[in-house]
Structure formats: C-alpha cells, structure tokens
Structure 1
Amino acid sequence: MSVIRAASMAQQSRVTPGIEDMKSYLESQVADVSHREVIGPALPGSGASGVIVHGGERVASWGDPGVPEMAFSATKSVVSTVAGLAFDGGLLPDVHQPVRDTLDMPELTGPRAGTITWHHLLQQTSQWDGELWGKPAWADAGSLGPGSAPPDAPPGGGWAYNDVRVNLLCLALTRLFARPLPSVLREGVLGPMGASGTWSWHGYRGATTRIGGEEVPVVSGGAHWGGGLWISADDLALLGLLYLRDGEHHGRRLLSREWIDRTWSPCDHNPDYGYLWWLNDRRRVFPAAPPTGRCARGNGGRHLLWVDPERDLVIVSRWGEDAGGLLHEVSAAIS
C-alpha cells in the first residue's frame, strides 16, 4: 500500500493550473470564439483531491475529497445513470425507439431529427444539428472524434463528442420524468447510498422546459459553458461502487445489471465509448491503464471516476494532471 499512498501524494502535487478563475478557464476550453460566453454557474477549483477504494475499503485519499468540484464531462456518465433509472422504471422500455414517439419535443421535429432514438443520444451518434439555449451543436469544441461522420449524415451515422447533444438528452429525460433530474438522482441513487448533501447539479441561464404549466429547470450534461454536476470525490466514489457492485448497494438494487451491461457495451462507431462512459478495452483512453477499466471522464481526465471490476477498484481524481500515471501505478500495485 506504500506504492498507492505515494501515487496519491504525487497526484495531489499535480494540480491543474488556472482553476481559481473558473470563468476564464472555461472560456479557454471552447475553440469557437463566437460561442465562448459562459452561461452557467462556475465553481472555482479548490485543488487536487481524490480517493482510492479497493475491496470496498478506502486505501488512500488526498487533498480534501469531501469538497465538491465541477465534474465537467464526467457528468455525462451520471446522465446515463439517470437514463438507467428511467429504463429500470419502465419509462424507457425501448432505447431504439425514436424519442419523439414518446415525447412531444419541437427540437425533434422533421424527417431527420424525428428518427433520433434514445440509443443515439446515449451513444453520442444522434447527429442532431440544432441549438439549445443559444449554443448550436456545431460550435461545441469536442464535436469531432474517432468514428465521426459528415454533418449531413443521418442519426446513427457517426460518433461525435458534443455537449449540446447531451444537453438535448438532459432535456428529453427531464420531460420524460416530468421533474428535475437532480431530484431523480437524489431519490434513486445518491440518497440511498448515503451521499453527502454537498453535491448539486446545474443548468445554463434560461434552461427550463414547461411541464404541467410550470417551468422546470434543465441541467447540463457537461461544463463547456458552465453548470453540470458539482460533486465531491467521496460522493463520486459512491457512484463508482454502485457500478462495481453490479447496481446493488448493501443488498438493495438501485440500478439493473442489464443497464450496466448496455452502458459498457461498445459503440459501433467508437468502440472506446458506451452509453456516455469511456471503455479502455483497446487501451486507447488511458494506454498505460488496464483494459478492464471503465470511466467517467471530464476535462481531459482532470476529473475522473475509474471503475475496474477485475481489481475490485475505484479511483476518483479531481483537478489532477496525469491521471493515466496514477491509474498505472495503482493498478500495478494491486495486480
């Protein structure tokens, strides 16, 4: 365990620079200069923190793992968890069904958008080309990637990492549940697991949808323009343990094994990706880490939830550079 402690201390020293001024930091992440305005709340970073859990026991921690931090695109994997709650609850029985068959959404009208399925949205293969809350899909900094397709490709025709399209999924899930997604997550997962009361989930300015005559807030699935999930390393580790334990917590099933299997099934257009989770099977996400790992990853790995069922291992790292080095050292020590 001395190797693990040393690795954790090294990670604490590799703090991401510039996180004290989060608005400027966020603006620097968006490539398109015409759409850099931050329209969601921003939380200054407090420094590197994290926790390592092996065999259900905490074996190391660094920084202050109880302090919430912006999760950036690690939020996407939590959106997948919420979708799983809809699936398990019968609200989403067929992921291959077009979303508009279930919901009346103006954003999904037309012959092309109308064929977008839940499966497309969850795998980031929707090819949706609209705009939400002033941010068009084409302006997202992460819109290109392996398996990408021309802009006019049909839904399911290619993979593209895109915050705006995940926000469309957040909007659809909010309408499906007919309530804010944070309440769904709290009731279905984080509450039963005993998470702290410090986490929160935010959307953009003006991001609401009208349900039953009331304006209901819609959260974002990332933080390219602010918002997203704000959560501590300790609470994020609970989510990792839920996936590690096949969706059970102290004998109570919170998420189905079937949904986890679907979540960790590779996308045809990008085998390194499942339902908003990264898969390291080909060792392309983190080359130095084992292929058995799956992860929720944000801001280039500076926010990481790593789950390795083969090693009974969960690693959470926040605002630390070289997460791949951390994964390699800890995994090698446990093998």
Structure 2
Amino acid sequence: MNATPDLSAAIALAQAHETPWPRDPLADPAVWGVHHEDPPPYNRLRGPVHPRGPQSGVILQRGREIAAWGEPDRADLTFSVAKTYLCLLAGIAQREGLLPDLQAPVAQRLPAIGFDSPHNRAISWAQLLDQSSEWEGECFGLPDTVDRWRKVANDPRPAGGPKGGARPLQAPGSYWEYNDVRINQLALALLQLFQKPLPEVFLDEILKPLGGGAGFAWRGYDDAWVTLADGRRVQSVPGGTHWGAGVSISSRDQARVGQLLLQDGRHEGRALLPAGWVAGMTEPCAIAPFYGRLVWLNREGKAFPGASPQAFFMMGAGGHVVWIEPALDAVVVLRWLDGAHHAAVMRAIAGALANGR
C-alpha cells in the first residue's frame, strides 16, 4: 500500500490526536469510559474491560485496502459501534424468517421478557432499532431512567435536562433518545428470538463469511445470564461498553463489516442481509432525521464535515468511527481518535480520497 501524500498527511493528523483516555483502563479510571458520568449507584463497570492499542485505522476504496496504520489487527473494545451490529443481527433474523415484520410489537412474539406492561406492549422492533421506543423498565439491574436526558456528541439537539433526571415518558415512537439500557433490552429480545448467543450468530453469519473473526469477542455483564428454552445458560450481551463488556474487534474486521454495508449487504454474490435492509437502516427516523436504524446519518451534510449526504456512520465512545461513504466508494475506520479532531481528520481524508480517485 502506497498512500498518496495527501492521505499520508491525513493519517499523520489522526495519529497526532489520539484520545486522551489512558491505554490501560486501570491507569486512570476516572477518565476512562463513560460510566462515571452516571448517577450513583450506576456509575461503575459491570463487565470486563481490557487495555487498548494506539490510534489506528483502515481505509478501503473500491473494495481494496489502500491504507492501514497503528495496530489494525488488534481486537479492541469499540463501544457503541456494537449498536449497529445489533441491527445487522436483526437483519439476519429477518433473513431467517424469525422477524418478518419490523412494525410488529415485540410482545407479540416474545412475551414475558419485559414488553408486557400497558406502556411497553405497543413497542415495535422498528422503534427499538431507531431508538424511539421509550421502553420503560430495568434490564439486568439498570433502569432505563439512568440514560434519560442522555446527550451524545452527534445529537444536534440541546440537552433537555440533567442526565438520569425524571424526564416524563412519551408514547412509543414519539420521542427519540440515545439510551443504552433500551439497547440492552433490544439485545435481550434478539437473544430470545434466535435462542442462541448473539456473539455466535454474529461470528458465524457475518464475520466468518467476510473472512474475519480473529480475536473477536462480545462479552456480557457479569450478572447478565439467562436460560434459553433448551435449558442452556447464556450471557445476554450489551450494545456497547457503557458499563463494561461489549465488542472487541479489529479495525480490519470493522472495515469488512463497513464494506458489506457499502455493498448493500452482499458479499461475493451472497446476500448476508435481506434485500433492502441497508436502505432501511439509512432511512432517517421521522422524529430524528440525523439517525437511522442504529446508524448516524449526514443527510444535510453538516453533521460530519467532509462526508457526503449519503454517508452513514457507526460511532462509539473513545473515538471510534466507521464511515461508510458511497460517494467515494470507500470505508474509513478510525479508532481511538480524540473527538475534538474528528471533523478535521475526516475532511482531510475525504479530500485525499477525492483527489486520488
């Protein structure tokens, strides 16, 4: 791989701005992760974490790797990039006939797992996937209230109140909120739908067919164990690393997943995702047009400077970006990049890729 001078300069810019989080979570726990921003007693890790590598990345263009730096084969925690993986698993479920109608209430197929209350029984799979469900309850000891009024960097709306505050619930589908407890409830629902561990499904149905999977792990909280219909005890996994655990994966595998989405869910002639699934993922949520189904959007071209309006993103705390860019036929993976420098790095990469075409 011989990167152009412009691309080499963009990569150097990324490497010069590694996240300030320590490489070892134990070195300075007060600034590693996001759990410490929660009100007590929820401001603690509930699952395993591990040391990370340096600022790293991979760039594919026209399906070919044109640049890689740092430690692209190291399986590192990727935080909320894992949310998008849950959407891919929902696509696998639809492909296998387990989830024929995203508009159907979850309780219709899965009673007695937290969707039976008068408020929750109307919640559909689609609402869980676009984060408009307003699900109410507790998932493995974490109440949904701990993430109410959550404000994340890519949400353009002003903060409405203190995190964890008593925000009044709205009807399902009428209010958008980035809420990790509800995401974990989605993961539990998918586990019950598949009746097999989600890490196993993701590895077998996504990563292995793409030629990846080395070092991949998807861990759950220490107490997040459930019994399946066949009597097996398995872990339900979270959609991120907010309270520890979550997905560890290499940059190259993240790029493989991004390329699958760029190719509309097809790989080497095989449809890993149902026809139209990726288009559905990138359809703006009616009440939050900056978001699709567990991906971030750029429809006005302002949320992610340098990216096209057709671009979409998997994002995770700590500086994780998987940028799928149809306009440049490219996938860009950035790991452990200081969020304050995302825009500058992305503009530099976009310019280099456009000039090198």
TM-score normalised over the length of structure 1: 0.95
Q: What residue number does 1:45 align with?
A: 52
Residues 135-214 of structure 1 mapped to structure 2, 5 A cutoff: 135-140=142-147, 143-144=150-151, 146=157, 151-212=168-229, 213-214=231-232
**What is the identity, as a one-letter code, of the residue corresponding to 1:327?**
M
CA drift of 1:29 comes to: 4.9
Counterpart-to-counterpart distance in 2, 1:74 and 1:65: 16
Asked whether 1:4 is paired with 2:7, we answer yes
Q: 1:28 to 1:132 in 2, by over 3 A?
A: closer
Q: 1:106 to 1:242 in 2, by over 3 A?
A: closer
In the alignment, is the contact (CA less than 8 A) between 2:103 and 2:124 conserved in 1?
Answer: yes
Asked whether 1:15 is paired with 2:18, we answer yes
Question: Deviations for 1:64-98, whole angstroms, at most 9, x for unmatched residues?
Answer: 10001111111101111111111121110000100
Q: Give RMSD over aligned pairs.
A: 1.9
In the alignment, is the contact (CA less than 8 A) between 1:30 and 1:140 conserved in 2?
Answer: no
2:139 to 123, 126, 132: 132
Q: 1:142 to 1:189 in 2, by over 3 A?
A: farther
Asked whether 1:230 is paired with 2:248, we answer yes
Matched position secondary structure for 2:258: helix
Q: 1:50 to 1:139 in 2, by over 3 A?
A: same
Counterpart-to-counterpart distance in 1, 2:54 and 2:310: 29
Q: 1:280 to 1:27 in 2, by over 3 A?
A: closer
Q: What residue number does 1:308 align with?
A: 325
Matched position secondary structure for 1:314: strand
Give 5+ residue unaligned stretches, structure 2.
161-166
| Structure showing the higher helix proportion among its residues | 1
Residues 2-151 of structure 1 mapped to structure 2, 5 A cutoff: 2-22=5-25, 24=29, 25-26=32-33, 29-140=36-147, 143-144=150-151, 146=157, 151=168
In the alignment, is the contact (CA less than 8 A) between 1:49 and 1:62 conserved in 2?
Answer: yes
Counterpart-to-counterpart distance in 2, 1:115 and 1:196: 37
In the alignment, is the contact (CA less than 8 A) between 1:47 and 1:319 conserved in 2?
Answer: yes
Asked whether 1:253 is paired with 2:274, we answer no
Q: 1:141 to 1:112 in 2, by over 3 A?
A: closer
**What is the identity, as a one-letter code, of the residue corresponding to 2:41?**
S
CA drift of 1:53 comes to: 0.7
In the alignment, is the contact (CA less than 8 A) between 2:148 and 2:177 conserved in 1?
Answer: no
Structure 1 residues 244-253 or 232-241, which shifts more? Answer: 244-253
Query: How many residue pairs were aligned?
Result: 334
Matched position secondary structure for 1:296: strand
Which portions of structure 1, spanning 4 or more consecutive aligned residues, are displaced by more than 4 angstroms? 147-150
Counterpart-to-counterpart distance in 2, 1:284 and 1:34: 37
Q: What residue number does 2:284 align with?
A: 266
Structure 1 residues 164-173 or 316-325, which shifts more? Answer: 316-325
Counterpart-to-counterpart distance in 1, 2:213 and 2:96: 25
CA drift of 1:27 comes to: 5.3
In the alignment, is the contact (CA less than 8 A) between 2:176 and 2:287 conserved in 1?
Answer: yes
CA drift of 1:206 comes to: 1.1
Structure 1 residues 324-333 or 257-266, which shifts more? Answer: 324-333
